[in-house]
Structure 1
Amino acid sequence: MVDGSSGVDSGYQAHRAAFAVFAEQLRKGDRRAALAAAHAVHDQVLAARHLNLRGVALNCVGLAQFELGEFAAAVESHQRAKDLSRRSDVRGFAALRANLARIAAGESVAYPQVWEADSAPGQLAALARSEHPHLAPAAGVELGRLLCGEQHFLAAIRAYWAVVDSGHPWFRPRAAAPLAKLLREAGDHEGASRVLDYASPEADAPDLVDLALAPLDDPEEPPFWLAPVRSGLGHYRAGDLTAARAELRAVAAGDWRHAAHQAGTVLAGIELRHGDLTAARQLLGDLAETADFTHGPRAAVALAILDAAEAAPPDTTTTVGPVSALARYLTRDQDVLADLEALAQGRHPLAGVFAALLGDLLDDGRPGSGAAHWQDRAVQSKDRLAVGYTAYLTATNLTMWDNTERVVDALAEACESAPAVLPWAAVRLGEANLADSYGSGDSQSFFQGVLDTGHRALVPRAAAGLFNSSPADSWSAEERYELAEELLTGDLPAEAVPPLAWLAAEKLITYEDDLDGGREALERIPESDPEFGAPALAVRLLLDEEADGMRAVFERLARWDDRSLEMASECCMSVLWKLPDESAVTRRALLVLADLGDQSAPLAHKVWERLIKVCQIQHDLDGELAAREASNLRLDRHPGSGVLEAARRFYLDGDLDQAVELYQRVSTEEFPEARSKAAVDLGVLLRHQGRHEEAQELPAADVHPQYCFRLGTDLEGAGRIDEAILAWELIADTDDITWAVRAHYYLGKAHADRGEFDAAIAAYQRAGATEDSSFRGRAWYELGCLYQDQGNLALAKEAQQRGADVAARLGKDGETVLGGCKLRLAQLSTLSGETEDARRRYLDMVDNADRGTAAMGAMMLGGDAKDRRDVAEAQRWYQWVIDSGDLFQRQLALAHLGELYYWVGDRDQSREFYQRTLDSTRSNPDLVAEAAYRLGEMAGEDGDTDQAVRYLERARDTGDATFGPQASQLLGRLTG
């Protein structure tokens, strides 16, 4: 053999001695000698061109390099083994060790999840999900260890549970002890005791060298996963059915699930071939109800084939019996290849399906087997079962476990085409979307599809997936909650209840304010559940007003897992929004969340905000100050900032004595930053009270202008305009132009609102003299409006033009100001009698302004035409507005057209536009009143009293000062 694709055992036998030298040296602890032996055997098989053995040799090199601490070199060796070999056992071992070497070399494992496809933990997780009979549990043990080290305890429990559930004789004991420890810490002592029963001595477990060299044991039997049933198959192929059945039944009754299900599949094939169809169907039916992702779908497809074969037309004739061929496929009998090929090439209705079976049997771990040809033929057959099963086999091929994109595509095809494999494919597809954020990332529909099938063994996994899925929209979220509630009314496996009960409680508490219903749902979650038990207990204790018990649970959660802590914190906060502000329990529970709850920014902010409000309502000033200080310290704000916030609150509320006392509390050298800010606030307060000498004695404040500006806006919002002016004046002369121009602008507005026009003009002019900014443009606009109100049209026009020039230079940031200035300039031209200039400006607005400004220009042009009773011109411009998309101006345009046609006596057109006005607006009572009155008036004139009354009542009920009374009078005349 020279190409590594086939050969006889003697081709490998010559190299086994060299591999044995490596094994001996590594087990003795002579790592340098082991590395030299590994390199030697690699050179030997390279010279002999044994490609598959090169992968084994490179794995040996990598093992020795790892033991020597040469982690980067080990990664390279194992990666080369993975790239070179086409055997899944060689590639899987290479991936396992390469990623452990990457982590040992220093690659970070501190991920919030371990599913990043390119990360070392992500690769280990993918291998653990691969269903590889030996390497998946091996990866699961390593993954659990890594996750524990990163304190991702829930994820570690899931990793270890998968290994323990597999029943693998080598790796279950390794996973059982650490899993039991985690379960005890989670409060599940019964589960921990049960798991410890599996933590037996590992006398029969192979070491790493055994696993690396396992492909040498039977090089011409790549279906290594058949090892557990090989003895039974040997008896069967020797013709001893009794011994075969006994051997296989013993394996099927064992704890190793992979082996047990493989034995069940082979037994089904034996019974099917030797006449006991009922027993075969029973075995296949039992397998199809399992959560085994290899043998469950295989059994479901076999049942579908049997059903289809029984339903085939009587005239369906083949030279090969399809049931017999299926039976031999189930026993993995390579001698059936010719029969399967005949069925796949014949005219049997299931030809495409048999092509899929042929490809699967050829594949069986053998590189270069020609399986791809028959897989393609199965897909080309267009038979849904053939297409779907082929896709599923592609997705679960042990050489494809790390090709996420191709796996997901294949799973999607399997879900769409083959109902027989839907439950398993949908679970995998949903988890892939959760794990790798592939495609939409919304896996809810896939898990829902599994739940709809009622596949009991997969319900717990689908329920957990449903909980973890993130709905893409509110409708999907509501559907998710409703599905959880519906499922809880049925007979569920115990493992499926906690995630569904949590979803139901979340909906009832958070969205329906049904605290009692939420409590009932949470009571279905056992306290021993590692993920949901403690969070459910914490929420129940809060609902029972036992804040001390809730604190004890959160103390445990804070040491446990971030995910559980986040769940408990979010749900408890949902409850606290609904508890009374005056309750002592509310405050104590909020303190628990503040001290021990999830500290992520959004939730922590809500907790502190609510705690501060509750303390205020309960008149607990000390509690409020402590909450404010603690909250600000978590945000890295300076000491004393919380006291400043409370002082500002009292200041704005008018409790000046309390405000002064708090400002003085931080006016010490102990709080340098707070002291300067307190001096600003106190200075404004004291000067307003006329206490100028006290204000002068305050320390000089070196505070950012933004702080002074915010003080002014806060005071303005509280109606304390005099003090707002004092605050803005503090920064009017600052060198910081950003805040100086804002201060001048706001001073101008404040003085103008108080009728202090000279002061307002001066402030606006100072703002207008700064560098270009939005506030500079707004200042010129407001100054122009002020001049216009005073009747000085020339100065008004000059100011608006300067504002327009500033806004134009600002580009997009100045669009709003530019539109306002342009409109004012056009109006000023109208007021000045410059009709043509005004029209030119309105036309320029329509052609060159933003949508809102353009619509206003068109409205003015339409209004001018309306005043002149130029119906065509008015219709043109008002229709332009209607088509512009500006909703507010559209309503006005419709109303103006209704009025115009009313004036000119065109009742049909008037009715149309007034009715469109009513149809388009509910928020403008003036427009509604006019349109409804006119429609009622015209209906009355037409003799339709009932319709007139409906319109007139609507006009009357608007309360409009003009049309309301007119509608009442006309109603009186119509109804007597």
Structure 2
Amino acid sequence: MHINDVNDTGRARAGLRWRAAGLLLGCVVLLAAGCAGQPGTHPGADVRIDANAVPPSPVSRREAYEYHVLAGEMAIQRDNRALAAREYVAALEYSNDPALAKRATRIALFAEQPDLAYRAATLWARNEPDSLDAQRTAARMAVANEDADGLALYAPALVQAAASPDIGYRLLADVVSGAPNATDMVIDTLSNMAQADSASAPAQYALGVVALRYDRSEIAARAAERALALDPNWNDAVLLQAGVWIRGGETAKAQQLVDKLPGNAVSRAQYHLALARLLIEADEEDAALGEFEQATQLQPDNSDARYGLAILSLSLGQLERAETAFTRLYDNNERADDAAFYLGTIAEQREDYAQAQRWYQRVENGGHAFEAQVRGARMIFMQDDLPGAQRRLSELRAIYPDLAEQLYAAEGQLLYEADEPRAALDIYNHALDEIPDSSELRYGRSMAYERLGDIEAAKNDLQAVLDSEPDDARALNALGYLIANHGTDYERAAEYIRRALEAEPDNPAILDSMGWVEYRLGNLDTARHYLERAYRDFPDAEVAAHLGEVLWQQGQHEAARRIWQNAMADNSDHPVLTETVERLDP
């Protein structure tokens, strides 16, 4: 979506543009009147406008309004979203037009300027009190800006503007969820609303749902009890109670409660589907799988239930069950693109690369379309056709010119994996000539440099990535590992890796690096701790080499040999593993 797609208010039509253009021209020419204060401004120059500046007298409020609207439109045409947002919000100083406030809000949201969006949304909500869209947006921005007073104003207004209290409270629960920094403010606001509307089951329900989402189980339990007391036959209140019990570890009790709910097969399928989602939120994936299965048995054509069953089965490594579910979705033309993508991933996991390629080629639309095409090119490579994979990536660059960075990176990675570091370096150099600020390409090039033995060039590229993105965990880890492997400044290496580990504490690659640098520092017990964690989650050949070496130095030779032998079964030619075994246990 481009900012040009944001709906126009109808105010900036030809007449307005003409009058405001005249005003801008007057500001350029009539310097003595104070309309422009920038030195060197001349006809034809790129006029830069301060959104906070108010055109001085004798400019009227109407002219000032038109000035800022046109300036905003000009910024949109230049794709300067931040300036467009400032100009449109500045225009609101001279107009109470709710349509203008709505447009200003949307432009500011698109520009990722939450403070400006909130300023515009408050005016929109104030001037359209019956607009659900306005009140919902204002409430959402109050949460984003952590404004308790604003949320206390717009949350009740949202409920009031909805078609019914039930709908309003449901919408409110969704609007205020997902903002951990505002947890106390959100809970306090909904608690106050539930207390003020104490006879409303939907008010208690909304509080309970939000409290559950923010892991405030005691508040959720009390709210669920009040909602059920007010409306004992309300199924959603029953499901809320089930969610509270699940969070408290009473899964069987929750399942029994839902089993007792009345209704036909379609209704009961929805209950089991809702329970499955609650179980997933509580990390009860096996139990959730059973609920998805019950939902599909009750309503075989429920695509949401079947899709949930397929996704969860795939995440649990149950490939046959996932394949069956995704195949049925694809054959029934339900979420066909998503189904084809995941059938491709299943075939890829089975190392059936030709079948995976065929599935990926069938993904035509949706959120997985581009990734499927890139994976399809990789499947060509996995069938020992590197030139064919390169040709396909080149074709994709013509189809997706805006995504050339990712496609060049993918080609460089394939060449690196094919042990063609010189060719990879050529690709990265060519790509960086086109996209000089790409951190992704610099990171890839650093790996090629390292493989070619140019360690300083590799370090320079990684440092360049960190200069622009200081918290990039991947670059921090790579630079630390590079320093540890090609030098003796282990303390410096450890500092980079610690920073990476702070950002991604469970990343096996970073845990491996941390273990390896601790080994270099002589801290064998600490090194073993990190390496065992890494190996447990990612039994890679290089991790096995490192863990085995630490165990060897601790005198546990047989344990080291077992780890090496297991790794050698599938990676007999891995350079790090081979070197380690030959050096320590020839």
Provide the TM-score with structure 1 as the length reference. Answer: 0.32
Give 1 or 2 for the bigger CA radius of gyration: 1
Give the TM-score taking structure 2 as reference length.
0.50
